[in-house]
Chains A and B, each alone.
Chain A
Amino acid sequence: MEWETVIGLEIHAQLATKSKIFSAASTAYGAEPNTQACAVDLGLPGVLPVLNQKAVRMAVKFGLAIDAEIAPYSVFARKNYFYPDLPKGYQISQFELPIVGLGHLDIEVDGEEKRIGVTRAHLEEDAGKSLHEDFHGLTGIDLNRAGTPLLEIVSEPDMRSAKEAVAYMRKLHELVRYLEICDGNMQEGSFRCDANVSVRPKGQAEFGTRAEIKNINSFKFVEKAINHEIERQIDVIEGGGQVVQETRLYDANKDETRSMRSKEEANDYRYFPDPDLLPVHIEDALKQEIQATLPELPAAKKQRFINDYQLDNEAANTLTSSRELADYFESVVKQSGCETKMCANWVTGDLLGALNKAALEITQSPIENERLAGLLTRIADNTISGKIAKQVFEEMWKGEQSADEIIESKGLKQITDSGAIEAIIDTIIANNPNQVEQYLGGKDKVFGFFVGQVMKETQGKANPGEVNKMLKAKLKR
């Protein structure tokens, strides 16, 4: 039987506010346990939450960017459950009236565009962390993270493969970083994903029973976890069993999901409006004000790159995958004045290649955009060849010298004196009569031998185009 997969994702994006969503404590990552938890975060008797308006603005910004309805009136609710790292015994979240309503995000998989619905996005506070190591069988609680603002972004069950799910997650990751509402740091848990996965016989209208896979914290694991889960569900059904609705945990070490709790064990969260907080009213004026702060979004930027820089789809996709990379590319184009395709090739090829190898982000690139632009300028004005340029690039990567300084100190300047090249060519022709004979006899491949010899003699500094031209003229058949 042929099976179809149905996937919906819930993504928790940590909002990049300085202070927590309901208190003034810092949200900075990595502090000593419980040093960034104030009375409100600890849930002490008598404390009250006060909403961080910056978090509200970030949520609205996100909503506007995915073309969603922004609720004029939204409500915080208490989600009740007991857990040691949940200080109040309830999480302040939004339930019936979330701040962001229906929107959408377009993804691209194997060259095909697809629109994924975003059901809603709501504001909530994060819980603390339970620490199980180094406590001799006891559990330690770190409440630094308690009260950190989260935007939970819930998709429609619109994805049909793990690949689509990853594409959606990447697109969302790219968007929240474009909007500067989330740092997207997945190691630190700033961007986390729960996946709802089900399978059904191809052609069947109703959904199969779903399992929710919790807390997957990398793109790679999302794909693996979902694929593993799809296989598991198909095996269960084909083995005559039934998929049960449950929450499963992905174990990256074993590459498997395992059951956490079934539907029967699920909490009744007893949501009700939080009487400590007033409803959030978003006026049109505020929406307009925030709309005006929206940066150029990835899709628009990509289209502009294709139109203005004549880039192909792939290059435009790569270059707009982050705002920083796109900015880098554009400043290289601007400063070098070089042909845009060449700029794109250098950025997506040599630079990104080297960065990937060194596991660096564009923002950490050892070669700043000014220096790369300087290098490209020298290729364009024929000071160096593309081949020499790669050598210069490597030098630039290692140090802080500009392209010009390296070209100068290493004497890499292209030989443009055609008389000098001509003399070298003449000598080579004279010293290699056999090869001349072969070439003149019709063996085209031998031409490369002559080019190589000239380059060897000139240490690569001859202009390859010029060399070709002159050799052709000398060895006229």
Chain B
Amino acid sequence: MHNKTIAEIARDLRNKQYSSVELTRHFLDRIQQHQELNAFVSVADEHALGQAEAADKALAAGDAPLLTGIPIGQKDIFCTRGIKTSCGSKMLDNFESPYDATVVEKFKQNGAVMPGKLNMDEFAMGSSNETSFYGAVRNPWNVDCVPGGSSGGSAAAVAARLVPAATGTDTGGSIRQPSSLCGITGLKPTYGRVSRYGMIAFASSLDQAGPMTRNAEDAAILLQAMAGFDGKDSTSVEQDVPDYRAELNNSLQGLKIGIPKEFFSSDLNADIAAVVNSAIAEYQKLGAELVEVSIPSLNQSIPVYYVIAPAECSANLSRFDGVRFGYRCENPQDLADLYTRSRGEGFGAEVKRRILMGTYALSAGYYDAYYLKAQKIRRMISEDFKKALSQADVLMGPVSPSTAFGIGEKTGDPIEMYLSDIYTIGVNLAGLPGMSVPAGFVDNKPVGLQIIGDYFAESRLLNVAHQFQQVTDWHQQIPQGFE
């Protein structure tokens, strides 16, 4: 059961090969068996089985939505009514949201079962899932390695077949990088495509939720459920949602693939370059043409990101003050003590580091030099991407400069950690959609290919990924011990 895709499970449920309750029990058992991965922050057995029972009734009645009865894991950044929403932080270890995020609500409307909440870097700040208050998640391909981050729990759970699919969020690569490191398919949609309401904000102008699945078709199915305008999110875009599966089988004959030369500089690890290049060669066999393009401002993306994202997070995280919800220190002596100790004790080191950086960047006298300058360069980066995309249908390159690294290997060096996102951050700054698709292995560890498309070109990205998955089987590889 657990090796099936969503499309297959949906068919099986309708053919009564097994019930949603059986399916849900099976996955709950697997979650239980593989606690060593630390992929989940909360497991919602009863809740999930209740939903599964309801789903079985709906399936029996007929005309149930496609996702009915299928367990989908939620990253613990999405507010879920009645189930703890921690965002990977001690600050919210006691927080139960009184409302559901729009994404959660949409999955409910689509009949999906929610088996639990997935581990993540604290407030989505990290590239290894090591900043979580609940501890590091282990990579199923090598349990001594990180799964990537911040959606590390989601990536590990999907790769280990603890859930058929999961949600993630991507602010600087947090869907694509862990997807690459865990050998799954991840899609960060265009900024504004999926509602951010109820998704705990890290950097509001960059955050975007998306699916993390085992293949492109499943990603299309999940995105179908997630996407759409939401009146509760002013930055969500009022644009029709296409049928994301409609173009999956389109031919790639004549597809123009832009190869940004900055993605293939001498800094890129040769083994990873080889995997990416052979994937691109596969596309040529499918009839695609290569065009060299350039994104000259790409090397600015990390510094720009590390001004804008911390600046936004420094304000977004001000609400965690110990007053209304979340962690409150013991016996506060006065207001200042309440604030400083609640925040000092409730936040982890990486979160504090970013709040401090952001506060500094926005301070009087520094605003122009940092925040304003960063916004200007951000526009340049967008322009560079737009120009590249005017010369090609999609762009391709690596997702991450390395494969999964060892737990603890980079925790002492934040800058080294930040560089993990060098190929993914530009896409967030430009607001474009991007995907990570399994493309091979280096030393038994998965490597992803990044595909970047134009605004709202998710259908095209899914088509390009799906066609690749018709002629390769990297996405079907199962980590040892999780077969």
* A positions within 8 Å CB-CB of B: 39, 42-51, 78, 80, 82, 84, 87-90, 141, 268, 270-272, 275-278
| A163 vs chain B, min Cβ distance (A) | 36
Q: Which of B293-322 contact A (CB under 8 A)?
A: 311-312, 314-315, 317-321
| Chain A positions within 8 Å of B203 at CB level | 275
Q: Assess the A44–B234 pair: CB atoms within 8 A.
A: no
Contacts A51-B234, A89-B318, A275-B204: A45 and B79 contacting too (C-beta < 8 A)? yes
How far, in Å, is A82 (CB) from chain B's closest CB?
Answer: 6
Instruction: Given the known inter-chain contacts A88-B319, A89-B319, A276-B204, please indicate yes or no for A46 contacting B234, CB distance below 8 A.
Output: no
Binds A, one of B32-40, B94-102, B266-274: B94-102
- Stretch from B133-141, B359-367, B448-456 that touches the partner: B359-367
The stretch of B110-118, B193-201, B404-412, B417-425 that contacts the partner chain: B193-201
In the complex, whether B285 has a CB less than 8 A from a CB of chain A is: no
A90: chain B residues at CB < 8 Å are 315, 318
A269 and B99 alpha carbons, distance in the complex (Å): 31
30 contacts between A and B (CB under 8 A): A43-B324, A44-B79, A45-B85, A45-B97, A45-B201, A45-B325, A45-B326, A46-B79, A46-B97, A47-B197, A48-B232, A48-B233, A48-B235, A50-B231, A50-B234, A51-B234, A80-B315, A80-B318, A82-B339, A87-B323, A87-B324, A89-B321, A270-B314, A270-B362, A270-B367, A271-B362, A272-B371, A275-B205, A276-B235, A278-B235
Alpha-carbon distance A48/B317, docked complex (angstroms): 13
Q: Mark each residue of chain B from 344 to 368: 1 if its CB lies under 8 Å from any CB of chain A, else 0.
A: 0000000000000001001110010
For B197, list chain A residues within 8 Å (CB): 46-48
For the A-B complex, the count of residue pairs with Cβ-Cβ distances under 8 Å equals: 101
Contact of B315 with A272 in the complex, beta carbons under 8 Å: yes
Q: How close is B434's CB to chain A, nearest CB, in angstroms?
A: 20
Say yes or no: is B279 at the interface (Cβ < 8 Å to chain A). Answer: no
Q: In the complex, which residue of chain A has the Cβ closest to the Cβ of B325?
A: A44
B166 contacts partner chain A, Cβ-Cβ < 8 Å: no
Is B369 located at the chain interface by the 8 A CB criterion?
no
Residues of B at the A interface (CB closer than 8 Å) are 78-79, 85, 87, 92, 95, 97-99, 101, 196-201, 203-205, 231-235, 311-312, 314-315, 317-321, 323-326, 335, 339, 359, 362-364, 367, 371
Q: What is the minimal beta-carbon distance from B125 to any residue of chain A, in angstroms?
A: 15
| Cβ contact within 8 Å between B323 and A84 | yes
Task: Tell me the complex Cα distance, A276–B323, Å.
Answer: 23
Q: Which of A44, A80, A88, A141 contacts B362 (CB 8 A)?
A: A80
Residues of B within 8 A of A84 (CB): 321, 323, 335
Say whether A275 contacts B319, CB under 8 Å.
no
How far does the alpha carbon of A450 sit from the alpha carbon of B317 in the complex, in Å? 88
Q: How far is the CB of B200 from chain A (nearest CB, A)?
A: 5
Distance between Cα atoms of A89 and B315 in the complex (Å)? 7
- Shortest A139–chain B CB gap in Å is 8
Cα A298 to Cα B319 in complex, Å, equals: 44
Contact A48 B196 (CB under 8 A): yes
Contact B315 A42 (CB under 8 A): no
CB distance A276 to B234 under 8 Å? yes
Measured CB to CB, the nearest residue on chain B to A269 is B364
Q: A44-B79, A48-B196, A48-B234 are in contact. List 16 more A-B contacts (CB 8 A).
A: A45-B92, A45-B201, A46-B78, A46-B197, A47-B197, A49-B234, A51-B234, A82-B318, A84-B323, A88-B319, A89-B315, A89-B317, A89-B318, A268-B364, A270-B362, A276-B201
Q: Which residue of A lies closest to B236 (CB)?
A: A48
Which chain B residue has the least Cβ–Cβ distance from A278? B234
Nearest 8 pairs between A and B by C-beta?
Answer: A89-B318, A275-B205, A275-B204, A270-B362, A46-B198, A43-B319, A45-B200, A46-B79
A78 touches B79 (CB 8 A): no
Contact B312 A45 (CB under 8 A): no
Docked pose: A233 CA to B363 CA in angstroms: 32
User: For chain A, what secondary structure do more than half of its interface residues adopt (helix, strand, loop), or is it mixed?
Assistant: loop
Q: Are B315 and A39 in contact (CB under 8 A)?
A: no
Whether the pair B311, A272 counts as a contact (CB closer than 8 A) is yes
- A334 → chain B closest CB, angstroms: 47
**Nearest chain A CB to B386's CB is how many angstroms away?**
20
Selected from A44, A80, A88, the residue in CB contact (under 8 A) with B97 is A44
Report the nearest B residue to A39, measured CB to CB: B99
Q: In the complex, what residue of chain A is closest to B335 when comparing beta carbons? A: A84
Answer whether A78 and B98 are a contact pair too, CB < 8 Å, given A47-B197, A275-B205, A276-B235.
Answer: no
Among B85, B314, B359, max chain A CB count under 10 A is at B314
> What residues of chain B lie closer than 8 Å to A44, measured between beta carbons?
79, 97-99, 319, 325
Residues on B with C-beta less than 8 A from A47 are: 197-198
Complex contacts, B101 vs chain A, CB 8 Å: 46
Q: In the complex, what's the smallest C-beta–C-beta distance from A135 to chain B, in angstroms?
A: 14
- Bound-state CA distance A48–B312 (Å) is 14
Q: Do B319 and A45 touch across chains, with their CB atoms under 8 A apart?
A: yes
Distance, CA A431 to CA B98, complexed state (A) = 94
Question: CB-CB < 8 A to B318: which residues of A?
Answer: 80, 82, 88-90
The CA-CA distance from A160 to B1 in the complex, in Å, is 82
A residues in contact with B200, CB < 8 Å: 45-46
How far is B326's CA from A74's CA once the two chains are assembled, in angstroms? Answer: 34
Q: How far is the CB of A436 from chain B (nearest CB, A)?
A: 89
Contact B363 A270 (CB under 8 A): yes
Looking at the assembled complex, report how far the CB atom of B194 sits from the nearest CB atom of chain A, in whole angstroms: 13
Contacts of B234 in A (CB 8 A): 48-51, 276-278
The distance in angstroms between the C-alpha atoms of A89 and B313, with both chains bound, is: 12
Q: How far is the CA of A276 from the CA of B325 in the complex (A)?
A: 22
**Closest B residue to A80 using CB positions:** B315
A90 to B319, CA, bound (A): 8
How far does the Cβ of B323 sit from chain A's closest Cβ, in whole Å? 5
Measured CB to CB, the closest approach of chain B to A249, in angstroms, equals: 18
- B233 contact set on A, CB distance < 8 A: 48, 50
Which B residues are CB-close (under 8 A) to A87?
A: 319, 323-324
A137 to chain B, nearest CB (A): 11
A131 to chain B, nearest CB (A): 14
Best-surrounded residue of A42, A87, A89, A90 (most CB of chain B within 10 A): A89
A268 nearest in chain B by CB position: B364
A80-B315, A278-B235 are known contacts. Are A42 and B204 too (CB-CB below 8 A)? no
Cα–Cα, bound, A90→B201 (Å): 14
User: In whole angstroms, how far apart are the Cα atoms of A51 and B232 in the complex?
Assistant: 10
Determine how close the nearest CB of chain B comes to the CB of A153; give it in whole angstroms.
25
In angstroms, Cα B335 to Cα A331, docked, is 57
Known: A268-B363, A270-B359, A272-B311. A50 touches B339 (CB 8 A): no
Contacts of B85 in A (CB 8 A): 45-46
Task: Output the least CB separation between B37 and chain A (Å).
Answer: 26
- Give Cα A39 to B232, complex, Å: 12
In the complex formed, the residue of A with least CB distance to B231 is: A50
- For A50, the closest partner residue in chain B by CB is B234
Residues in B whose Cβ lies below 8 Å from that of A270: 314-315, 359, 362-364, 367
Given A275-B205, A275-B235, A278-B235, is A82 in contact with B321 using a C-beta cutoff of 8 Å?
yes
How far is A270 from B364 in the complex, measured between Cα atoms in Å? 7
CB distance from B205 to the nearest CB of A (A): 4
